[in-house]
Structure 1
Amino acid sequence: MLSDKLKSYLHFHVIVFIWGFTAVLGALISIDAVPLVWYRMLLASGFIFLWIWWKKKNMRVAPKKLLILIIAGIIIALHWLTFFGAIKVSNVSITLALLSTGAFFTSILEPLFYKRKFVGYEIIFGLIVMAGLYIIFKVETEYALGIILGLISAFLSAVFTMINGKLIAHAAPSVISFYELFTGVIAISLYLAFVTVSGDGNTGFNREFFSLSSSDWMYLLILASVCTAYAFIASVAVMKHLSPYTIMLTINLEPVYGIFLAFLVFGSKEQMNPQFYYGAAIILATVILNGYLKTKKKINKLS
């Protein structure tokens, strides 16, 4: 019989593998980033609401936290808009390589959010990450816009993580996620309604927006249910049995899984210059080492 810890570890690898597949689905879905994110957030919030209703969880949130939830919802919407936007203008490999800098952005923002001093090695790691980014920019100039959008997406992901870290103590994760996702839907809907009213017939809520192919519907349902609602709820459950270092190390495998899956699905379209992989490896190795040192420091404080 497998122990709870081992089962959780294997389950978490499956979840991270699913997260890696998210970028592939974004490339397979033919619609633009804005409707893609709108549909994802709408469907995912619906699935999570059904989960909350089934589990009979309390959906009340303190009024003081409502504004923070609204801000977090807008940030996660912008994160996904730039994430899928980067995929649409470049490819999965570029986007995931840049998204791996999110963990590093988190280590930079953490002192600001939690009012602690910067650690010396984090500044050195910042310079190393910049060197990795320079290598990618230098060899993949045709994907400059995708690289910029990927970096913005990674930064927004870090900001969202910091905000959620303060919210998680005041409500169930699934309840917080529902409000954030639904806020994102409302924010994007207001933007689309404004574009429609402004008279641009080619964008906003028009007939084309609601005319999706059967394959797009299938991919969107998988994206919203398996890759968003299920992966989020399951990850919260398995993290109770895993150490912070195991969680950090496993999450950093997401771009590796995603790039591997993209190469299997799209073939030569995802094949990059060797220097790209050097730059991506430098970034990923730095992020993992940073996470290792931070986790080791926390363990030493507890011992």
Structure 2
Amino acid sequence: MFLLAVCALFAKWIDLPALYIVWGRCLFATLALYIYCRYKRINLTISKTLAQRLVISGALLALHWWSFFQSIQLTSVAIGLLTFATFPLYVPLLNFVLYRTPIQPLLLLQGLLCLFGIYLVVAADNLTSTAWFGLLLGLFSAACFALLTVFNRHYVQQQNPVLISFYQQGSALLLLSPWLLLLQQSPSLNDWLLFIVLGVFFTAFTHSLIIYSLRFIPAFTVSLSFTLEPVYGIFAAYLLLGESVTVLTIVGALLIVSTCAWASVKSGQSSSD
């Protein structure tokens, strides 16, 4: 979770549009996963139906990462991570819309608590109109990730997760590539080095660690640990970027993180029941 949290800082370290950052991340993550699949002799053959579904999920992944990095570039690491942390609240809503799963009334209270936590963070930062758009992009990123989570849970849960990750990120790479023609900037050598570090170490390697951890601890415990991501990220941004951390930011962050952890616990209890 700490490595995933540090990913947010690359939005500040790489002086390129968010679209370019996501493209570079997908490029080297796909290459690293391909090498891993070949090394482990994982069969890369998939059905046409699964390929179509993975292209859709790859598009969701690209939208999620683009809006996430764009949100941070327009606001701060804290706001980008805290708005993304609200994704557990979207999952029950999406399950209701897609699969008519009943919504627990408690979800409304949890949503209001998260919104109040975001308000505290916003009040601490005195956002401009541009930053408000960044905040909305952060919430959109959370919705895309929640939809991706629901999609994966219902369609690809029987497949090798490394294989799924390879095709999702490869699909995102192909879908993003034509859009680079609209950009007039070219990455510097330093940007390419950061792309490699972000794609190989902070994406392919980190996701492999999460998959490996599932051999020893329940998936619910792994998903619950995602609530720690903004805590680590805000701390890292304070140390490495010098981003200010006010009392209101801390209170808002604690409220959002604890509410999302609460929502995840309730979700885990419901699924076990």
Question: Do both share a fold (TM > 0.5)?
Answer: yes
Residue 99 of structure 2 is aligned to residue 99 of structure 1: no
The equivalent residue for 2:244 is: 271
The equivalent residue for 1:38 is: 23
The equivalent residue for 2:189 is: 213
Residue 272 of structure 2 is aligned to residue 287 of structure 1: no
Residue 34 of structure 2 is aligned to residue 49 of structure 1: yes
Could you give the per-residue CA deviations for residues 109-156 of structure 1, whole angstroms, max 9, x where no partner exists? Answer: 233344311112112212222222333344432231221111111111
1:6-155 paired onto structure 2 within 5 Å: 16-140=1-125, 141-142=127-128, 143-155=131-143
- TM-score for both structures, normalised by structure 2: 0.92
CA drift at 1:258: 0.8
From the CA coordinates, give the structure whose radius of gyration is larger. Answer: 1
**Residue from 156, 171, 175 that aligns with 1:183:** 171
The equivalent residue for 1:6 is: none
**% same residue:** 26
- TM-score for both structures, normalised by structure 1: 0.83
Gaps of 5+ in 1: 1-15, 196-202
In structure 2, give the amino acid aligned to 1:39.
G
Gaps of 5+ in 2: none
CA drift at 1:245: 4.2
Q: Cα RMSD between the aligned structures?
A: 1.8
Could you give the per-residue CA deviations for residues 20-59 of structure 1, whole angstroms, max 9, x where no partner exists? Answer: 1101123211222111111110111011011111111111
The equivalent residue for 1:12 is: none
Name the CA distance, whole Å, in 1 between partners of 2:98 and 2:215: 24
In structure 2, give the amino acid aligned to 1:108.
L
In structure 1, give the amino acid aligned to 2:188.
L
Name the CA distance, whole Å, in 1 between partners of 2:56 and 2:270: 32
Answer yes or no: is the 8 Å Cα contact 2:24–2:196 preserved in 1: no
Answer yes or no: is the 8 Å Cα contact 2:92–2:101 preserved in 1: no
Name the CA distance, whole Å, in 1 between partners of 2:67 and 2:257: 20
Task: Report the number of matched residues.
Answer: 270
Could you give the per-residue CA deviations for residues 150-184 of structure 1, whole angstroms, max 9, x where no partner exists? Answer: 11111111111111112333421111111111111
Out of 176-185 and 136-145, give the one that drifted further.
136-145
The equivalent residue for 1:9 is: none
CA drift at 1:255: 0.7
| Runs of 4 or more consecutive aligned structure 1 residues displaced over 6 Å after TM superposition | none
